[in-house]
A and B are shown apart, each in its own frame.
Chain A
Amino acid sequence: MADHRGPGRLPAHFTTPGSSSFIDFLGAAAPDLLPGRRPLPPGIASELAPHGTTIIALTFDRGVLMAGDRRATAGNVIAQRDAEKVAVADSYSAIGIAGTAGIAHEMTKLFQVELEHYEKIEGTPLTLEGKANRLSTMVRGNLGAAMQGLVVVPIFAGLDLDVDDAARAGRIFTYDPTGGSYEERWFHGVGSGSIFARNALKKRWRAGLERDDAIRVALEALYDAADDDTATGGPDITRDLYPTMVVVTPDGAVMVRDDDLAVVAQRVIAGRRDNPGG
């Protein structure tokens, strides 16, 4: 920010026309605030920070939802029991990031500002594919850190407002650490417990699920993940901690209230008492 041309005047980056991307702007005005722009010393740093684990997304009738467990681990220790790995990205999309917690938080926050910034400057939001591509670029920017063990694996889901058929408007995108973006059909999951969660979804998901059924299916899948993966936390009744969940419908993207999730989670647990395999 040394580019002052007058007393107290905003530096030239601020008034340079052309870009509606906050990340591009940060790259010029304050590159040290971008996750991918910091020089990293050599060595493997994967044990440095806690890891966030299982996140799933699934489509349902007229919408899409994303849910994540609450656990973050550092080696064999539970680093955090109330981690929030799923967030509302903008009015019609949700983002969840598994992997190194610090970078995941930073990337989530940056992505949220990026979408809002574009909307304010252009007066119209990005298309769903535009949002998915922006995220792709951000993950690619983290490749250097990923090679040293600071890997993040996002999952992105939202409603495509350009699709007329409401049943197909919910779309899910996953990413690999090099920034490759893949559109998934129906449901998907990322993180250590996702293998188990995806298997559960494979058996339980069906086309045209209602919103409430979809919430139940998501909690069942996360229960299965927690059942078999040590790094995934199950519903914690003693502490009143349940998965975080964002539901995106034509009415907007909202976090599902804890109280509502508690009721469904208790039902899942009760069901498992009679039938542990669900």
Chain B
Amino acid sequence: MSNEKKTLLVVKDLKQHFPIKTGGLLNKKIGAIRAVDGISFEVKEGETLGIVGESGCGKSTTVRSIAQLYRPTSGDVIFEGLNLCEAKEKELVLARRNIQMIFQDPYASLDPRMTVRSIISEPLVVFNKRGLLDKKLTKLEIEEEVERLMERVGLNKAFKNRYPHEFSGGQRQRIGIARALALNPRIILADEPVSALDVSIQAQILNLLNELQKELNLTYIFIAHDLAVIQHISTRVAVMYLGKIVELADSADLYDNPAHPYTQALLSAAPIPDPEIERKRQRIILTGDVPSPDKIQPGCYFQARCPKRMPWCTCHVPPTFDLGNNHKVACWLYDEKDYSKISKEEAQADADKNKTEVK
């Protein structure tokens, strides 16, 4: 069924490396933090792609690269046939109208010196001034639009003269959502929109996002590290680890049959809101630390902490295997060939052979 829907956004081998520099006048580049290291996925119209992963795995960088807040190091972001990475300034601004962001921290993402009215109307004013709207808006029309948006996201329009610091966290996030909706975007990149909120407020904001999606046929890319939130809102889920997508599947499928050892560990760590089951729950406890993202790993990025590690994994980077039913996973366990019997020496020899072949 989902195949019939139009593909809205395609991300191909997206890489975002932040250079490490010596500083000083010469400012030599001595390395790079590989925040996002070659990820690919597609987003279909009307769906919600959830991205989960632990802190520092590159979730936020991914959406910022898609929004072109950071210019990607390499790779393509294709929105409705337009490659944003190579787009000209003007095309990019036009595309931005359709790609809007909701930010994580509702305290930091609203300018404290602007009234709610000017915050929500800012995108309209910017586009109006540059003459990029379908029709020039008058001040009065903008004013009415602001009121409509405020009421749509559940804010009293009487508050439009107020300043952000006079609102609670949930209300501020509503202001942020109203601002993102102002230009009638097709896709909204939500960068942990609920992680800074109380649990009860989280539910309200999630429900609001759900309603808006149904009403306006929005597409979301939704980041969270709360697995329950992702399960609630997403149609598909991508699991990220150290700048790579390790597993990508439909939401129900992923939660029922996690394939990648990392996903399994992640899901087993989520508490279950039933004390009886919670007490009996078996947890997979990962040891070790996330490796530093400034080095290129010879093998699987997860192998150092993987409970199902094989010698083969230490020197071979896993490709993506399709398990069918839209379920993709990057793990050697799912190759047709069984690698578990291969000793360390044989694996190393194979890796060296590949290296020389490439050379």
Pairing of A with B: no
Residues of chain A touching chain B, judged by Cβ–Cβ distance below 8 Å, are none
- Which residues on B are within 8 Å of A, measured CB to CB? none
